[in-house]
Amino acid sequence: MRSVLPSVGALILAALTCAPVGAQRADSAVVGSWSGQAPITVPWTVQRTLAVRLDIKEDGSVTGAIGDARLLDARIYPENRVVRAIGLARQYAIDGKLNGCLIRAEGVLRDRVHLSLDRSEQTLAGDLRTSGSYDGRPSDLIVTAKGIVLRRVERIAAQGPTRDAPPPARTKRGTDPYTEMQP
């Protein structure tokens, strides 16, 4: 029994430290555009939510925005099954760089972000953690958000009206609905 425990421990440690494979394709269930809010859980920010927008491509690359920062060089990958089985991870993880202030009004600037997400029907839910330290000045502290809910955003085709489409409705005053109403 004693000789088995170190082997099992070594396997768990190896599973926990496995890095994602960079060339993995994204699960087709998560490919697309997602948008939602991330409730900030650290007490030192004035702003209490971050807007999150993700565009997940088939090749596993991810672009978008976290708060006021652009998401760059990001990848989505399935979390390790062993880590998920013992309750330490969610279905998917996204790691990427941040360009610009996370919270512009407060000057909160972070270099990297990690999202941990589960998919359910048309939502991605989970949490977020940025680079930073766990103690020190607020300008250096990690930013966390829990209870993120992202919903799939359907892209509207950028095309003009078709021949079969009805003309735009007129307002009571007879003005075009796409222009400002006159007093």
Average pLDDT of span 168-179: 46
Residue 8 within a domain: no
Find the domain containing 111 and state its range: 20-153
Q: What is the pLDDT of residues 80-90, one digit of tens each?
A: 766 666 666 68
Q: What is the pLDDT of residues 112-150, one digit of tens each?
A: 999 999 998 889 999 999 999 999 888 899 999 999 999
Residue 27 has what pLDDT?
Answer: 77
**149: domain CATH number?**
2.40.160.90
| pTM, 2 dp | 0.70
Q: What is the pLDDT of residues 66-79, one digit of tens each?
A: 999 999 999 999 87
Residue 15 within a domain: no
Residue 158 within a domain: no
What whole-number distance in Å separates Cα of residue 110 and Cα of residue 102? 6
Residue 170 within a domain: no
Residue 165 has what pLDDT?
Answer: 46
pLDDT-based confidence at 107, cuts 50/70/90?
very high
Residue 159 within a domain: no
Residue 113 within a domain: yes
DSSP secondary structure, 26-69, as one string: PPTTT-EEEEEEEEB--TT-S--EEEEEEEE-TTSEEEEEETTE
Residue 146 within a domain: yes
What is the total count of domains within the chain? 1
In angstroms, how far apart are the furthest CA atoms of the chain?
86
- The torsion defined by the Cα of 9, 14, 15 and 20, in degrees rounded to 10, comes to 170
Question: Does 39 score more than 90 pLDDT?
Answer: yes
Residue 104 within a domain: yes
